[in-house]
Structure 1
């Protein structure tokens, strides 16, 4: 009997994952991760960790498996929260859920599980694991979940071969309704429970208040740039190389107040992200305003009207070499090589046709169609068929 430690989060997905593993004959242990102590920034009655840990305990009791809580809040603060603040300060928008999987669930948590004699760690992610042989050695694949509506492989885009080797995803072959059905049949307390929408494992957090704890408010100006601005005129440029062309396509437009009109004030450019529409409190425009750029140096925000504003779109993005990550190291590109893939720049985005171009200093991802709101600090993932083969931080 192989021993599996399941990260029981108090939600329906991990509950059913534990049940399925037990049915398959594994020795299952339930572990709840406590990652947060500060209730002042959580919206109190929306899934605080206490309620979740109680639900996880009730599920473990129902399934007849051992259960304990591990406090990872120090690791979480250091590896996720501090990182988030430093990224926001630089005007980048981090993705805490991707980091939480790489740094907490499949690192700190996995080490605890292995110290308990576990052979595997299992989670309630909607994704699947494949295995192929390359040069006589096993190579693990991260595959999309069967439920296209719930596929969560994107959140695991930073995992390594070592982490995947020890990971199990029991519900990857199921759809969400099937998972709920199993939970109801087993009379699990989580069967009807709503999915939590907050930061992974903190519960629902008010992000602006959360950021304001560390990043001081600083009044600045909001500008609007017209879609007809000459900045957006298509100029015929002759590039000396493909790399030069891609660099141009991936670069940000540099906005200054003299190309825009003043429309309002804000409390700090570092609280805002590209493509954001809510929270600007500027009225009187024909179409809603979207953020097209933030300037941390001058503490200015530039906006444009409507979700088709040309300032939102770019054809390429850049990932620095030290931020390029291959789940499939055998597919890694050498300088000068290209690879046709499908890619996405955010969770739940439809996969987009793209080409990877590897150069000495990093990789460009060039899209067939211009993409809206490419955001620094977020992750781009690249795929072949239903397999996620690599990812990187947009720089």
Structure 2
């Protein structure tokens, strides 16, 4: 009997993952990760982690598996929260869920599991794992979940071969309704529990409030850039090579206050992110305003009217060398090579046709169609068919 440690989060997905593993004959142990108890940041009067760990414990009891709570709040603060604030202060928008999987669940948590004699760790992610022998060595594949609406492979885009070797995703072949049905049939307390919306494992945190309690407010202006602005009429040079063309189209548009009109005030450019519509509190326009850029140095938010404003769209992005990550290291590109792929720049976005171009300093991703709100600090992930091959931080 192989031993599997399941990250029981107190939600329905991990509950059913634990049940399925037990049915398959594994020796299953449930561990709840407590990732946050900094009382200086009031999250809300609810105490979600207590409620969640309680639900996880009740599920473990029902399944007859050992259960314990591990406190990872120190590592979480260091590796996720501090990193997030640092990124926001630089005007980038990090993805805490991707980081949490790389740094906490499949690193700190995995090490604890291995110390407990586990052969594998399992989570309730909607994705699948494949394996192929290449050059007499096993190569692990991260595959999209069967449920197209819930595929969560994107959140695991930073995993390594070593981490995947030790990972199991028991619900990857199921749809969400099937998972809920199993939970109901087994009379698990989490069967009808709503999915958590918040920071990975902190529970009911709303990111803007969380940031406002840690980053000082600073009043600045909101500027509206007209769609007809001269800034969009750049002369396209004659390119001598593909790399020059990619560099030209990957470049961000630089805005200044005098290119538009000041329409309102805000409390800090670092609270806002590209593509954001809510929270601007500006009325009087025919269509809503969207953030097209933020300048954290000058503390200015640039906006455009309507979701088709051209300031939102670009079709080339760049990833620096040190931020390129290949799950399939055997398929990594060398300088000068290119690869047609499917790619996405956010969770739940449908996969889009794109081509990767490896150059000396990094990797260009050129999309067939312009993409809305390409955001620095977020992850771009690339696939062939339903296999996620690698990812990178958008620079």
Is the structural similarity TM-score above 0.5? Answer: yes
SS in 2 for 1:107: helix
1:384: which partner in 2? 384
What's 2:369 paired with? Answer: 369
For residue 44 of structure 1, report the CA deviation from its aligned partner: 3.1
Cα deviation for residue 234 of structure 1 reads 6.0
Structure 2 residues not aligned, in runs of 5+: none
2: CA distance, partners of 1:289 / 1:391 = 30
Offset at residue 241 of structure 1 (A)? 1.8
Q: How does 1:312-391 map to 2 (within 5 A)?
A: 312-391=312-391
What corresponds to 1:18 in structure 2? 18
Aligned twin of 1:104: 104
Q: Distance in 2 between matches of 1:3 and 1:23?
A: 13
Determine the C-alpha separation between the residues in 2 that align with 1:282 and 1:97: 30
Whether 1:168 aligns to 2:168 is: yes
Contact 1:250 1:314 in 2 (8 A): yes
**How many Å apart are 1:43 and its aligned residue?**
3.1
Q: Which residue of 1 aligns with 2:70?
A: 70
Helix, strand or coil at the partner of 1:41 = coil
Q: Distance in 2 between matches of 1:218 and 1:347?
A: 30
Residue of structure 2 equivalent to 1:2: 2
> Per-residue CA shift, 1:105-127, capped at 9, x if unaligned?
00000000000000000000000
Q: Deviations over 1:271-311 (max 9, x none)?
A: 11000001011111111000001111111110000000000
Deviations 1:47-68 (A, max 9, x none): 7100000000000000000000
Gaps of 5+ in 1: none
So what's the TM-score if we normalise by structure 1?
0.98
> Which 4+ runs in 1 deviate beyond 6 A?
none
**Kept in 2: contact 1:43–1:206 (CA 8 A):** no
Partner of 1:139: 139
Measured in 2, the distance between the counterparts of 1:318 and 1:258 equals 28
Mapped pair 1:41 → 2:24: no
Q: Deviations 1:307-357 (Å, cap 9, x if unpaired)?
A: 000000001000000000000001000000000000000000000000000
> In 2, Cα distance between the equivalents of 1:257 and 1:184?
57
SS of match in other structure, 2:214: coil
1:239 alignment partner in structure 2 = 239
Deviation at 1:235, TM superposition (A): 3.2
CA contact (8 A) 2:354 2:366 kept: yes
Counterparts of 1:236 and 1:209 in 2: how far apart (Å)? 42
257-266 vs 201-210, greater mean Cα deviation = 201-210
Deviation digits for residues 177-225 of structure 1 (CA, Å, limit 9, x no counterpart): 0000000000000001000011010011122221122211111111000
Residue in 1 that maps onto 2:218: 218
Q: In structure 2, what is the equivalent of residue 193 of structure 1?
A: 193
The answer to whether the Cα contact below 8 Å between 2:199 and 2:206 also exists between their aligned partners in 1 is no
Q: CA RMSD in A?
A: 0.9
